[in-house]
């Protein structure tokens, strides 16, 4: 059962909602006042007073208000209708009976536009639900008495490895993309070399000197091999053979071409 405006005013007076403002109490909800934003670990200590969420970006948000829930009361954090229409999505836990904490939630920009957030405008609201009877197991978890943002808290050791695995997967995908680009560029260089050689040989059919044709062909192959090595340099920096083999071919072709030309 959702509790009404009168009950919410009583919770402000009795410090169930600490730092609460009576003008923020609505018919069945309380409008939270935004305190800080926590976009990444570098901002966890002090937080930010404003931030810009690009499409797909998320940030944790803390409220000025703190809650001190009795054993017969739970509360939920919901997004304000205006913010929902703006393109924000809100994720938050169910706050259990017995929980003492500042209110935290996460918002994500699911729109196609950048959204600027600051502490002058609210984002979320609290609703309260009374239990049919007081619970005999009030909340005593990791995030009890969280008046400063803890991030993952004690769950860092439990879920930290999962985050590292995702980072490794992202690195692997990036490596695959670079290899694909490198292979495509190398194939393009090979095709260009083939067509260039065909064109040179067709134009040189009437040439009197076979050695000249061979020299030009070797120089062309060497140039495209050098190009393939240069392409591999930024795209495949850890694959030594991808750079050494083309350069070795280029050196051999240039050396043989020079030998024939100077003979």
* pLDDT at position 151 over 70: yes
Question: 127 Cβ partners below 8 Å, 6+ apart?
Answer: 2, 3, 28, 29, 30, 75, 76, 78
Instruction: Report CA-CA distances (Å) from 117 to 31, 87, 151.
Output: 16, 12, 20
User: How does pLDDT run across 85-136, given as a tens digit for each residue?
Assistant: 999 999 999 999 999 999 999 999 999 999 999 999 999 999 999 999 999 9
- Predicted pLDDT at 139: 93
Higher pLDDT, 198 or 17: 17
Q: What percent of the chain has pLDDT over 70?
A: 72
* pLDDT at position 180 over 60: yes
Q: Average the pLDDT over 166-189 and give the result.
A: 64
- Predicted pLDDT at 153: 56
Burial degree of 81 (CB within 10 A; 0-12, 13-18, 19+): exposed
- Predicted pLDDT at 157: 55
**What is the residue-averaged pLDDT of the chain?**
83
Q: Please answer whether residues 29 and 127 qualify as being in contact, where contact means their C-beta atoms are separated by less than 8 angstroms.
A: yes
- 3-class DSSP string for the chain: CECCHHHHHHHHHCCCEECCCHHHECCCCEECCEEEEECCHHHCCCCECEEEECCCCEEEEEEEEEEECCCCEEEEEEECHHHHHHCEEEECCCECCCCEEEEEEEEEECCCCCEEEECCCCCEEEEEEECCCCCCCCCCCCCCCECCCCCCHHHHHHHHHHHHHHHHHHHHHHHHHHHHHHHHHHHHHHHHHHHHHHHHHHHCCCCCCHHHHHHHHHHHHHHHHHHHHHHHHHHCCCCHHHHHHHHHHHHHHHHHHHHHHHC
- Predicted pLDDT at 200: 59
Range scoring the smallest mean pLDDT among 64-68, 137-141, 193-197: 193-197
* pLDDT at position 82 over 90: yes
Q: Average the pLDDT over 171-189 and give the result.
A: 64
Model confidence, pTM: 0.61
- Predicted pLDDT at 251: 85
**Torsion on CA atoms 141, 145, 149, 151, rounded to nearest 10:** -10
Residues 16, 20, 21, CA angle at the centre, nearest 5°? 140
Q: Which CATH architecture has domain 5-151?
A: Distorted Sandwich (2.70)
* pLDDT at position 179 over 90: no
Domain ranges of the chain: 5-151, 165-262
């Amino acid at each position: 059962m959702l509790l009404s405006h009168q009950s919410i005013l009583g919770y402000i007076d009795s410090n169930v909602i600490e730092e609460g403002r009576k003008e923020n109490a609505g018919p069945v909800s309380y409008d939270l006042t935004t305190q800080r934003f926590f976009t990444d670990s570098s901002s966890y200590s002090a937080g930010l007073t404003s931030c810009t969420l690009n499409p797909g970006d998320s940030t944790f948000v803390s409220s000025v208000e703190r809650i001190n829930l009795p054993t017969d009361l739970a509360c939920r954090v919901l997004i304000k209708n205006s913010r929902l229409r703006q393109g924000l999505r809100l994720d938050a836990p169910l706050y259990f009976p017995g929980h003492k904490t500042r209110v935290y939630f996460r918002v994500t920009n699911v729109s196609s536009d950048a959204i600027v957030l600051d502490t002058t405008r609210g984002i979320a609201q609290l609703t309260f639900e009374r239990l049919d009877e007081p619970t005999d197991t009030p909340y005593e978890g990791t995030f009890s008495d969280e008046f400063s943002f803890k991030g993952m808290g004690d769950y860092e050791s439990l879920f930290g490895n999962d985050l590292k695995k995702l980072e490794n997967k992202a690195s692997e995908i990036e490596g695959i993309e670079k290899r694909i680009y490198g292979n495509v560029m190398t194939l393009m260089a090979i095709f260009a070399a083939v067509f260039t050689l065909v064109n040179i040989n067709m134009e040189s059919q009437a040439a009197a000197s076979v050695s000249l044709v061979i020299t030009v062909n070797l120089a062309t192959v060497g140039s495209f091999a050098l190009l393939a090595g240069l392409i591999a340099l930024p795209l495949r920096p850890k694959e030594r053979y991808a750079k050494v083999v083309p350069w070795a071919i280029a050196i051999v072709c240039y050396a043989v071409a020079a030998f024939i030309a100077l003979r």
